[in-house]
Amino acid sequence: MDRNEARAKAAALVGRMTLEEKASQLRYDAPAIERLGIPAYNWWGEALHGVARGGTATSFPQAIGLAATFDDALVQALGDAAATEGRAKYNALSARGDRDIYHGLTFWAPNINIFRDPRWGRGQETYGEDPYLTGRMGMAYVRGLQGEGPVLKSAACAKHFAVHSGPEALRHRFDARATPKDLEETYLPAFRDLVTKAGVEAVMGAYNRTNGEPCCGSKFLLVDTLRGAWGFAGHVVSDCWAVRDFHTGHLVTDSPQASAALALSMGCDLNCGCTYLFIVQAVEEGLVPESAVTEAAVRLFTTRYLLGLMEGSEYDAIPYDAVECPAHLALAHEAALKSCVLLKNDGILPLNADAVGTLGVIGPNANSRAALIGNYHGTSSRYVTVLDAIQDAMEGKGRVLYSEGCHLWADRVEHLAQPDDRLAEARAVAAASDTVILVLGYDEHYEGEEPDDSNSGDAGDKPDLLLPAPQRRLLHAVLDEGKPTVVLLMGGSAMDVSEAQERAGAILLAWYPGARGGTAVAELLFGKASPSGKLPVTFYRNAALDELPEFTDYSMRNRTYKNYAGEPLYPFGYGLSYARMRLTALDAGRERARVRVRNDSAFAADEVVEVYVKDEASPDAPVHPVLAGFARVSLGAGEEREVSLPLHADAFTVVGADGVRRPGSGRWTLYAGFSQPDERSAALTGQTCLRATLT
């Protein structure tokens, strides 16, 4: 059914409810109304990279890794797979009376906040630092989750609206100040895309305030922008217990009923938390009219009708055996292969399993399940760590030696031991090996969300961009053994691995590749496929933290690849390949660019063609060229192909200090290549971008 029909049915149903019944339906754990035949429904579901927290499900790479694929068609397929599994689980569990949290069809994903500061622990949940890439990936995931039919396969949610990216420790009382220019240029475009182009069904407000207003009760965000300028017709949900922050953290109200009234009057329909328990009291005290309660309930039941929850749909026939089915596992494997980014290679990769001899695998993430899955993860029926997969690949071909090397962040593995209690063992393994794979990085306990356990001591955010001190000591000690060494990084954010860049033979970034992601990593290490991921964030050197604005400063001045004045360690859009690809021709226009791509090697591989645009005359343009188009292409050995890329219209506009987007100067330079057109990328890749002038 269409939205108008669903809304009419919702209005008729809500019209039969008492005030108390309507108010009860605005909670995330909405109870049954037996006299009206309405079953209980829990709105809280998670599917950031596969169905999460609800039992067994296919585990995809973390969102930041999906962004590194630069493959929105794949991301849409992953969204569809998650929706299929969500339906399969809902069908089976609700038939058995299980309507618990995380078992519904409303998924609070994707997270399309901009990863503006590399210290933010939740940046791993995003699609990186670029609004255009974030919008492309976010729209794809929404379309996959929701489907194309008249019934929503599941309901997606764009979060966290808006201007939200840490610090985690301050989020319940913090005011993120953003200029009109930064709002229009950076913080709002992806949300607008998901609302106006992808039809996302839900939007979640953020914990913090934006320019003085709490995001879940903001007239500017929810009334003027979301429902006013963008015409959003779905429902708004608060972040969890964010409405309570109105009176306990932000101090913009003085009671829970006043907080509930403010959120509801600004159009926050659904409360994840407990504050909407005071809605009836707020109505009785005259703080908010009953009509606002009615409207919120109508919006929520419109979503339930669109999902087919009230009258059934074709999706009710999806069987439970769709969960972790071979097709979905294959998609997860493909995503893991495409997400890994080769940061350095002096020729040591790919390894030859038949000739490598004794292989030493060292490091706290080598045999770690936590390093596979990131945060907001599901449960897999099987986990394949990097060590598992390397041992399988080397079976019958050579010896694999292993040492944990160190704790992920603590100074010892065994609490009764001396500091660095695994360091001598790691050196012994390295000395006895012909080649070393050193597996370092983070997991969700080191970078994540407040109040997750975090070594940083700052509620999930990282204190700096360095590897934890025990890992730095391990890296130095292993490299001092003088053996050919591959550094494998697992994590969800920028790391300063300058010593590895200087001294290791290769560096491969695997992100959090999913529960069985070790298999894909091993296939890349041993050359069964070529790395083809690209960085969706800038990898700064740690010293750059003194150059960037303060973590609490939401200005985009000197932030991200578009405005950073320094030299990064690894630039946005960068990633190497085992193949030798080159662009042989560029034909550029305002709406589309055509390039010819040739594979000059004997290695079949994927590459990502990237197009950037620089406004050469407008003082309001970003400092550096901005991403305007991208396309993934697969080429066999010696193959050449033409690739046509649609270009983002916003790349040919500029945003003034007043926040108004206007046509650009009319003088643009367009660049096409496998990276940004910057000096650091050219130095790392040995290639320069093709360029064309447009007027």
For residues 114 and 187, the answer to whether their CB atoms sit within 8 Å is yes
Look up residue 618 and give its DSSP letter: -
Catalytic residue, from 80, 193, 239, 458: name it. Answer: 239
**Strands 435-441, 640-646: pairing kind:** unpaired
**Strands 506-509, 341-345: pairing kind:** antiparallel
Closest CA to 72 of 142, 3, 165: 142
Q: Which residues contact 670 (CB under 8 A, 6 or more apart)?
A: 586, 588, 593, 611, 612, 613, 614, 628, 691, 692, 693, 694
Closest CA to 214 of 251, 240, 178: 251
Bridge partner residues of 79 (DSSP): none
- On the 0-12 / 13-18 / 19+ scale of CB atoms within 10 A, 328 is buried
Q: How far is CA 573 from the centre of its chain?
A: 16
Look up residue 515 and give its DSSP letter: T
Instruction: In whole angstroms, give the CA distance from residue 607 to residue 672.
Output: 13
Residue 37 Cα distances to 15, 31, 32, angstroms: 14, 11, 8
467-477 as b/e, with b when 16 or more CB fall inside 10 Å?
bbebbbbbbeb
Instruction: In whole angstroms, give the CA distance from residue 61 to residue 48.
Output: 10
Query: Under DSSP, is residue 614 helix (H, G, I), strand (E, B) or coil?
Result: strand
Instruction: In whole angstroms, give the CA distance from residue 43 to residue 53.
Output: 13
Q: Which residues contact 371 (CB under 8 A, 6 or more apart)?
A: 365, 385, 439, 441, 442, 443, 490, 491, 512
Length of the chain, in residues: 695
Whether residue 239 lies in the annotated active site: yes
- On the 0-12 / 13-18 / 19+ scale of CB atoms within 10 A, 412 is middle
- On the 0-12 / 13-18 / 19+ scale of CB atoms within 10 A, 206 is buried
The residue whose two tokens read 């001598």 is 424
Look up residue 542 and give its DSSP letter: G
The residue whose two tokens read 């301050």 is 170
Instruction: In whole angstroms, give the CA distance from residue 616 to residue 626.
Output: 12
Which amino acid belongs to residue 293? V
Structure-block tokens of residue 430: 């390295």
DSSP per residue, 136-157: HHHHHHHHHHH-SSSS-SSB-E
Instruction: In whole angstroms, give the CA distance from residue 441 to residue 521.
Output: 15
- Positions marked active-site: 239
